[in-house]
Amino acid sequence: MASQLIEKYMRTEHLPHIWCPGCGNGVIMHSVVRAIDNLKLDKNNVCVVSGIGCSSRAAGYLDFNTIHTTHGRALAFATGIKLAKPELEVIVIAGDGDISAIGGNHLIHAARRNVGMTVVVINNNIYGMTGGQYSPTTPNGEFGTTAPYGNIDRPFDIAALAAGAGASYTARGTIYNPAQTTFCIQKGILHKGFSLIECVSVCPIYYGRKNKKGNAVDMIKWQRDNSIPFEKAEKMSPEELKGKLVTGVLSHTNYPEYTSEYAKIIDKLEDNP
Amino acid sequence: MSKLVLMQGNEACVEGAIACGMRFFAGYPITPSTEIAERCAFRLPMVKGHFIQMEDEIASMAAVIGASVTGVKSMTATSGPGFSLKQENIGYASAAEIPCVIVDVQRSGPSTGLPTSPSQGDVMQSRWGTHGDHPIIVLSPSSVSETYSLIIRAFNLSEKYRTPVIFLMDEMVGHLREGIEVPDNIEIINRKIINREGSKHRPYSIPEGECAPVFAPFGEGDRYNITGLIHDESGFPTNSHIEANKMLTRLMKKIEDNIEDIATVEEKYIDDADIAVLCYGGTTRGVLEAIDEARKKGIHVGMFRPVTLWPFPEKELLGLSKKIKKLIVVEHNYGQILLEAERVVKNHCKLKFLGRVDGTLISPKEILKVIKEE
């Protein structure tokens, strides 16, 4: 099945990909492709927008309309694409540093506007492409090449940040449970509005090694042992949930979608010029 | 039949752009360009276009490129610090060859400067503002009427060469109101498109006789990758030095080799002139008044105005410098296009400079004084 998906949806001439051994990005890219396949979307109608970083290299490998943009700006490019051509299915793939540090402003405003797009955030808790600097999601006290004495920043919860800014759909998946991640992405694509799926990846080479987390398998096992489904987490206290990954659909509301609202203005002007 | 309308420079910029098919604008409020965003917000939905006020200047530039990859003629407008913020993605549009028009209504700087005062301090930034070697086209209008016609040319050049075009206005022209004749017939150049369909092709290869790539917009079946990284003809990133050299050389040559088509100048009273005044944009009006005064006094002085600032019309200026005794460069800055004039003119004629950076206008009287100087 996987190989069929590769043939159908990937630019095989550009494989193998550049990701390190043990990297979780490929698992998440697979979930994105599987969600698209399950929904039987027309390849010509799918637009994948990415920023800069390890995760953002995914766009180039995928056989859709793909645009690898500038660092942090994927959502702003995607907003232009969606508004100019609302019939396109816009999917953004971005990393934790890309979307919540340099692109933090674009994230909150895209969420607030509720522009119809699906944002897949690959969160590996580190800047991998530049060699292991701490990111806005590196836990407090952990190490990066720019946090040699331990990180004193408080980390972001990206899904909660997006929900707080007005995202109408948020979810979290892991690479331990790709079926759940695929489900969350699929639901996000079907949702009419801004949806964000935080996909927790692993970076054994930089984050794992620097923080003695073991190899990729150890890190995935950690995900298995620390994931709590949203329904169960609702009954738990904040203390019990400390350091855990709450997974599944986290929030789902219906607000008017931006491009549809704009279309109403155009229609109104056409009727009453 | 053309019609006569009273218009502000900023408004003429929008109306000209809409007339030639601009249907997407993303921007952020900043003086003295704000009227452009306001008018786009009002006008675009009337013509089934889209306006969006983004969260900042960086995002507006990104949204404009995003809209353009779907095949829609797109524009943004800004001033002062906003122009600095646009630079990152202007470089992206240059590298990825995405047509778009960036209007910069210059104001006094550096930094927040004098927000409502005239200046022409962004001339060098318009050429070299984004990092790395890159091609760019910069046009500068000197009246409301010319703003209308020249913004159309800006779109035409952008679409033809698949490159960002900077429309370098200034506060003087942006806020000027004059009666203009809105033309009925305008020349419109649209993006050339070949829809190759599928994905295993080379979108960045240049077909015989073309000067730029011809890939179809997103969503029409021609599936390819766009990136700001150095890429080969497939549109996929590469680390190959050979490909890097090939891509960058082609990008620069795309403009260099077509300078005859791109660079235009306006000359006035040049035939009998032994003195010429080089000016552009809003400075032109004062210069023309000074020239008229001087000619009444029997001084043979003319005007040389680069309408295209970049690529700089050096052939035209070099030719002129060999015929005159003195060239006076007048601009509202500390001497920016002056550097180009020095480079081109060398010792062919004397070179004088009149500039100003205090946010006030250079008066015709001051210009006349320099014309009369020995």
**Can you give the pLDDT at residue B2?**
77
d(CA A52, CA A94) in angstroms, rounded, equals 7
> What does the buried/exposed string (b/e) look like for A214-233 if buried means 16 or more CB atoms within 10 Å of the residue's CB?
eebeebbebbeeebbeeeeb
Selecting from B50, B68, B228 the residue whose C-beta is nearest the C-beta of A70 gives B228
**Can you give the pLDDT at residue A2?**
63
Domain, as residue range, for A239: 2-271
Residue B32 has pLDDT above 70, yes or no: yes
All CATH 3.40.50.970 domain ranges of chain B, comma separated, are: 3-182
Six-digit token string for B188: 């419109």
Per the CB < 8 Å rule, is A105 touching B59?
yes
Looking at chain B, the whole-number percentage of residues with pLDDT higher than 90 is: 97
d(CA B130, CA B86) in angstroms, rounded, equals 9
> How many Å lie between the alpha carbon of A153 and the closest alpha carbon of chain B?
25
All CATH 3.40.50.920 domain ranges of chain B, comma separated, are: 265-372
> Half-sphere exposure (CA, 13 Å, Cβ side) for B181?
6
Q: How confident is the model at residue B3 (pLDDT cuts 50, 70, 90)?
A: confident
Q: From chain A, pick out residues whose CB is under 8 angstroms from the CB of B59.
A: 73, 76, 79, 105-106, 109
Per the CB < 8 Å rule, is B59 touching A106?
yes
Compute how many other C-beta atoms are within 10 angstroms of the C-beta atom of residue B232: 17
Judge if ipTM > 0.95. yes
Q: How confident is the model at residue B1 (pLDDT cuts 50, 70, 90)?
A: low
Q: From chain A, pick out residues whose CB is under 8 angstroms from the CB of B221.
A: 44
Q: How confident is the model at residue B314 (pLDDT cuts 50, 70, 90)?
A: very high
CATH number at residue A126: 3.40.50.970
**Number of domains comprising chain A:** 1
* B265-372 maps to CATH 3.40.50.920: yes
**Can you give the pLDDT at residue A122?**
98
**Can you give the pLDDT at residue A271?**
87
Mean pLDDT in residue range B361-365: 97
Compute how many other C-beta atoms are within 10 angstroms of the C-beta atom of residue B268: 18
Who's near B214: CB < 8 A, 6+ residues apart?
B192, B193, B194, B206, B207
Do A210 and A148 form a contact (C-beta atoms < 8 A)? no
B28, B46, B47, B50: best to mutate for the A interface, most A CBs within 10 A: B50
- For B75, nearest residue in chain A (alpha carbons): A80
Task: For residue B295, count CB atoms less than 10 angstroms from its CB and return exposed for 0-12, middle for 13-18, buried for 19 or more.
Answer: middle
Residue ranges in chain A modelled with pLDDT below 50: none
d(CA A245, CA A223) in angstroms, rounded, equals 8
Q: Which of A222-231, B196-205, B244-253, B260-269 has the lowest mean pLDDT?
A: B196-205
Q: From chain A, pick out residues whose CB is under 8 angstroms from the CB of B217.
A: 85
**Can you give the pLDDT at residue A21?**
96
d(CA B116, CA B357) in angstroms, rounded, equals 13
- In this prediction the pTM is 0.97
* B3-182 maps to CATH 3.40.50.970: yes
Six-digit token string for A228: 């709590």
With CA atoms as reference, report the closest residue to B338 among B264, B283, B273.
B283
With CA atoms as reference, report the closest residue to A46 among A62, A57, A29.
A62
**Can you give the pLDDT at residue B76?**
98
Q: How many CB pairs under 8 A join A and B?
A: 138
Selecting from B26, B55, B62 the residue whose C-beta is nearest the C-beta of A69 gives B62
d(CA A58, CA B225) in angstroms, rounded, equals 11
